[in-house]
Amino acid sequence: MGKTKALTGALLAVATLTVAGCSGGGAATGEIAAAPADPAGVSGEIKVLTHRTDLVQDGTLKRYAADFNKVYPKVKVTFEGITDYEGEVKIRMNTKTYGDVLMIPAAVAKNDYPSFFAPLGPAAELARKYRFSDKTEVDGKVYGIAQFGTANGFVYNKALWKKAGITTWPRTPQEFLAALRTIGDRTDAVPYYTNFKDGWPMVQWTSNVGSVTCDAKATDKLAGPVSPWKAGGELHTIDSLVHDIVKQGLAEKDPTTTNWETSKALLAEGKIGSMMLGSWSITQMRAAAKQAGGSAEDIGFMPFPAQKNGAFCATLVSDYQQAVSAHSENKPAARAWIDWFTEKSGYSEREGAVPAVKAAPMPATLKDFVDNDVTFVERSEAETAAVNEIDNAAEIGLNKPDYRQKLIDTARGAQDGSLQDFFADLNEKWDEAARTAGS
């Protein structure tokens, strides 16, 4: 289960990518999958494709379907859990048979959504009700509704930090580094754990773009020759902190030996102090704490160490977006499932995630953020396609682990070069790609 959810967490930071070969199994009609007005008038069988194989295997989704049938008794819902969700669904989408409801794979380019998915309604209408709707907007129509969202920050062991004498959140990167040094000096714990070997946790750092300056459009502003790693830029601040943690010996001694599953127990037991992850991870860490005989209350979540006007900010990003296949023969039933699952099932609440419905309260997992007036910043996706095009052309990989692994190798001396040279090279690649992308 941990591994399955880990993949979900990694995908939270991943923006839509263009992959050749996704050409669809026939022309889509453009028919809107409208929300049905009368549950009694909706019937048929729908298949839901999901990456949550654990929830299929343990019967959780079947129980959700039983609750759904109390409202929609004439709809039969079946589920197919797919382990290699991205890889397999991408292949299936060359046909017409890829389920009635599915999570939009990252491999599908945003501009291609109308070829594969039925529109769910006008963008202005859905934006009033749901967070993250702009992520799937194409030409004024929305093609997906988020399962839920996540806030970004550091999951940490509060008991360990308190033992080291640290009871307030660091407000700057320098204060964060000082806190880690204190943990290293006063305890036997590893202050910070990189999860370098598994790789995907490196991507979580990218989701802080927007948190540093409290700017919902921070990612959009990368769409051009803007030297993202220049001094004062958000990526400069974020990646400097990654570098300095390792450079100052505040992470594990050998990052090539890290292990994601093990890290949960280590954090829960107070053997490591903190990790950069999405808020989706809190429930996993608290479960690990209970298994270790500790208290779930020992697991906390803190925002990125930066403030604007004396307040912390946390970027909210979308998880997988639920869509209706353009080729579904039961679009009203498929749409009924998405609406019910998003609004009535209680799924996001149980997962401790940020609800897609704007009117719903924040989950208990983010109580510390709410109580401390952390500002939630919903990341704009308006320029996602353009930013991805530049990123791909530059071969940097904001949503891949490689460049931060190289950054860590530079910091620990396993790769030659200085931080300044590293940033200069990234800026040069980005700006050159921005000038030529799309030409």
Asked if pLDDT for residue 333 goes beyond 50, the answer is yes
Q: Are residues 115 and 156 in the same domain?
A: no
Q: Are residues 330 and 403 in the same domain?
A: no
Residue 327: other Cβ atoms inside 10 A? 21
Give the tens place of pLDDT for each residue, 91-125. 999 999 999 999 999 888 888 999 999 999 999 99
Q: Is 424 exposed, middle or buried (0-12, 13-18, 19+ CB in 10 A)?
A: middle
The partner residues of 145 in beta bridges, in order of sequence, read: 322
pLDDT at 54: 87
Last residue of a domain, one of 337, 360, 383: 360
Tokens of 339: 């609406």
- Residue 266's domain comprises 149-318+362-439
pLDDT at 7: 44
Proportion of the chain above pLDDT 70, given as a percent = 93
CA–CA separation, 84 vs 98, rounded Å? 14
Angle at 65 between CA 64 and CA 68, to 5 degrees: 90
Q: Are residues 6 and 113 in the same domain?
A: yes
| Higher-confidence position of 35 and 338 | 338
Give the tens place of pLDDT for each residue, 199-251. 989 999 999 999 999 999 999 999 999 999 999 999 999 999 999 999 999 99
Computed over every residue of the chain, the mean pLDDT equals 91
Q: Are residues 241 and 350 in the same domain?
A: no
Give the tens place of pLDDT for each residue, 129-184. 999 998 899 999 999 999 999 999 999 999 999 999 999 999 999 999 999 999 99
Q: Are residues 282 and 310 in the same domain?
A: yes
The CATH number covering residue 72 comes to 3.40.190.10
Q: Are residues 307 and 399 in the same domain?
A: yes
Contact call for residues 298 and 188 (beta carbons, < 8 A): no
Give the tens place of pLDDT for each residue, 335-370. 999 999 999 999 998 888 999 999 999 999 999 999
Q: How many domains does the chain fold into?
A: 2
Q: Are residues 219 and 325 in the same domain?
A: no
pLDDT at 438: 63
Last residue of a domain, one of 360, 385, 419: 360
For the segment 77-84, the average pLDDT, to the nearest whole number, is 95
Give the tens place of pLDDT for each residue, 244-299. 999 999 999 999 999 998 999 999 999 999 999 999 899 999 999 999 888 999 99
Last residue of a domain, one of 339, 360, 381: 360
Q: Are residues 99 and 206 in the same domain?
A: no
Q: Are residues 330 and 366 in the same domain?
A: no
| Higher-confidence position of 18 and 358 | 358
For residue 29, name the pLDDT band (cuts at 50, 70, 90).
Answer: low
Asked if pLDDT for residue 22 goes beyond 50, the answer is no
The partner residues of 376 in beta bridges, in order of sequence, read: 314
For residue 35, name the pLDDT band (cuts at 50, 70, 90).
Answer: confident
For residue 325, name the pLDDT band (cuts at 50, 70, 90).
Answer: very high
| Higher-confidence position of 341 and 10 | 341
pLDDT at 81: 95
Query: Per-residue DSSP letters for 266-330?
Result: HHHTTSEEEEEEEGGGHHHHHHHHHHTTS-GGGEEEE--S-EETTEEEEEEEE-PEEEEBTT-S-
Q: Are residues 78 and 16 in the same domain?
A: yes
Asked if pLDDT for residue 9 goes beyond 60, the answer is no
For residue 21, name the pLDDT band (cuts at 50, 70, 90).
Answer: very low
Q: Are residues 310 and 325 in the same domain?
A: no
Q: Are residues 139 and 205 in the same domain?
A: no
pLDDT at 439: 58
